[in-house]
Structure 1
Amino acid sequence: MKKKINILLIEDNEGDVELIKEAFSSDAARLEISVIDNGEDALLSLKSKDRVLPDLILLDINLPKVDGREVLHFVKNDDGLKKIPVVMLTTSSLQKDIEYSYNNYANCYIVKPGNLPDFIRTLKSIERFWLNCVTYLQNS
């Protein structure tokens, strides 16, 4: 049996959260998805001494309170977090956001498609690769 995968989804759009959970439902038995809807709470959670380290972070850029750029920067500059893969999953197709994300060690950058069928297809691609192909570090 494959290891349980802990995903931290940092996303403020409730509709997108539901679509992501639904798209990943075929792997629900081996997934633990935690959702945080703003960057400030995400930082507090990630800084917590009692934190459960996620295996994968799905991160939106346009978040309330603290944006996803700051969250990414924090994760990739923290020795205890920087090895966690971060997938930027956002509506922003701005070159400056893409460049910033890769300059700050995002593992990939995915622009959310504007229509539902393409968004579902994209989520299924994320599921196939990040949940079925990738080998994760063992968190201690």
Structure 2
Amino acid sequence: MPNTPFTLLLVEDELADAALFQEMLSEVAEEIMVHHVENGQEAWAFLTGGADFRPDLVVLDLNMPVMDGHAFLRRAKADERLRSIPVLVLSTSEHPEDVQRSYEGHASGYVVKPGTYAEYTRVLQTVEAYWRGVLRLPTLGEVAGR
């Protein structure tokens, strides 16, 4: 369903990494709307601030100041309003403990940040095809109308 609207919340403290992600994603799927915040606390405020914004996917870094990715994931998955939003961890960490903790925190997936432009493009193409083409995601109306 590549023609359906799709919004993504990018939680990334490194501005250069966030800019690279957005630039590369626009090459893969320019119509995806990306909102960027710099840490888990900003993501929490953004998602619970009263607006009806509900991203189709949260892409979450782990190592951030203020509120790291693990703390945000734990808090978001404990909140009934946010629990069904899929969270994809995108981290430089390949540490098995980070992977395990992320899945125990109910992350929907874990991807290690690629090291080359070509690998990053391939990862984003795969993410776009999977999250927009294969999966059926809940919509705000479906969740609210339970």
> TM-score under structure 2 normalisation?
0.86
Cα distance, 1:51 vs. partner?
4.5
Is the Cα contact below 8 Å between 1:38 and 1:64 reproduced in 2? yes
2:9 partner SS: strand
Q: Which residue matches 2:12?
A: 11
Q: Cα distance 1:127–1:23, how it changes in 2: closer, same or farther (>3 A)? A: farther
1:24 partner SS: helix
CA–CA separation in structure 1 for the residues paired with 2:78 and 2:8: 19
Deviations 1:59-85 (A, max 9, x none): 000112110001111111111111111
Q: Which residue matches 1:130?
A: 131
Aligned-residue Cα RMSD (Å) equals 1.6
Q: Cα distance 1:99–1:42, how it changes in 2: closer, same or farther (>3 A)? A: same
Deviations 1:33-59 (A, max 9, x none): 100012221121122222511111000
2:67 partner SS: coil
Q: Which residue matches 2:76?
A: 75
Taking every aligned residue pair, what percent have the same amino acid on both sides?
32
> TM-score under structure 1 normalisation?
0.89
Which runs of 5 or more residues in structure 1 are unaligned? none
Which runs of 5 or more residues in structure 2 are unaligned? 142-146
Cα distance, 1:137 vs. partner?
1.1
1:73 partner SS: helix
CA–CA separation in structure 1 for the residues paired with 2:15 and 2:128: 19
Q: Which residue matches 2:59?
A: 58
Q: Cα distance 1:28–1:116, how it changes in 2: closer, same or farther (>3 A)? A: closer
